[in-house]
Amino acid sequence: MNRKISLCNLSGFFIFFLCCILACSNDDNILPENNSDDPDEEVEEEEELGSIAVLSDCLFGDTNLFDTPVHNAIEETSLVDNGMENWQKVEVLSDEFDYIGGKQSPEFQNKWRLGYVNNFQPLPTIWTGDQVSFEDDTANPGNRILILQAIIDETGNEKRLRCGMISSKETSTYPLYQEAKVKISNSQLANAVWMISKETQIEEIDNVEAYGPRIRIDGQECDRPYFADRIHLSHHTFRQTETERFDYQPQKHTWMSRKKDNNDCSRDNDVVWSEQFHIFGVKWESPTKLVYFIDGKKVKTVNGLREEDAIDPRGYTTCGDGLTREMHMLISQASQPWRYGSVDAFWNSNDIKSGPNTKMMVDWIRVYTPNGQLNKQTCN
């Protein structure tokens, strides 16, 4: 997730929602030129390295931001067309959430922990199972939907925002494909489907992070419109010392918009992700390659190890080079006050923080590996 780096006074492991570095411009990676004097010599095409987005004709003066081609169909990603023809679903990491008994169902409890993978809380957010529930899908009788919702808690000395979260009990490493069908909430809270490494929480892959609509239900623009109606696609590597936690994430092509139709690059033509369900996926292909999909279309690839805007240019990973550790699957909401400048500014904003409009809806999450089994890593 995009965050500013907090380096001091951390009592536990740093996690998913903390701080952002915005608007850092990075030069494009340039592939080596062909210097051969023989015009008939075949030149082997090199695979691009770094953060590579699938771009529309809409260009922006912000290297963090990109726009992907118009695609109005909401489809699952074709495994056959993306190098996963014989991959199988990992049942212990996947869920259709069709539980009549909701979160009390034994099958749900066997797969999921209510809350984060440990007891850390990113204040003022409190991750809790109290804000996790299930609803019938009125548009699809017999289908059930996982609901995460937020509520303001003022019972203690400090105001808190209680947010729903679930995290998988099992973990897996690459190669792995995670895909989820999600309806982003109608609030400006962070909605996310992601992965975090087992025990140490020092490697992270973010399938999707989104912040709801730019126009609030009162008809006014939200307080931090840069983030709204855009999808954040990123990953993190961390280095932890006794007093500091260093956080790397790519800066190029991390915020994605998509237009409703062609020939209009204005914000008024942006897809509003909270209006309907969309399908978000990330293929953890190798320690040095991630491929992102939205509604069945590839939108971004992060490839390479030490290159700028690649997987781990600062050399923070220690269980081999790149993203290798087993990871939990997570679905969550959070306040993320860094987008407002401070916790007080977040509470003082007019953006939606609690109630029915904070409902994040998840129809299903599906995880695939080549044999349908968990991939294990001895170094965690």
Catalytic residue positions?
204, 209
Length of the chain: 380
Q: Cis bond leading into 124, ω under 30°?
A: yes
The number of angstroms, rounded, from the C-alpha of 131 to the middle of its chain's C-alpha atoms is 20
58, 63, 121, 298, 322 from 28: Cα distances, Å:
17, 9, 37, 20, 21
Contact 28, 264 (CB under 8 A): no
Q: What is the distance between the alpha carbons of residues 298 and 53, in angstroms, rounded to a whole number?
A: 9
Does the CA dihedral 213-214-220-222 come out positive or negative?
Answer: positive
How many alpha carbons fall within 13 Å on the CB side of residue 107? 12
Q: Which two structure tokens, joined as six digits, stand for 311?
A: 């997987």
Q: What is the distance between the alpha carbons of residues 280 and 297, in angstroms, rounded to a whole number?
A: 9
Residue 223: which of 345, 351, 335 has the closest Cα? 351
Contact 84, 283 (CB under 8 A): yes
Contact 50, 304 (CB under 8 A): yes
Q: Which two structure tokens, joined as six digits, stand for 329?
A: 């699957």
Q: Which two structure tokens, joined as six digits, stand for 54?
A: 């699938």
User: Helical H runs in 84-159?
Assistant: 106-111
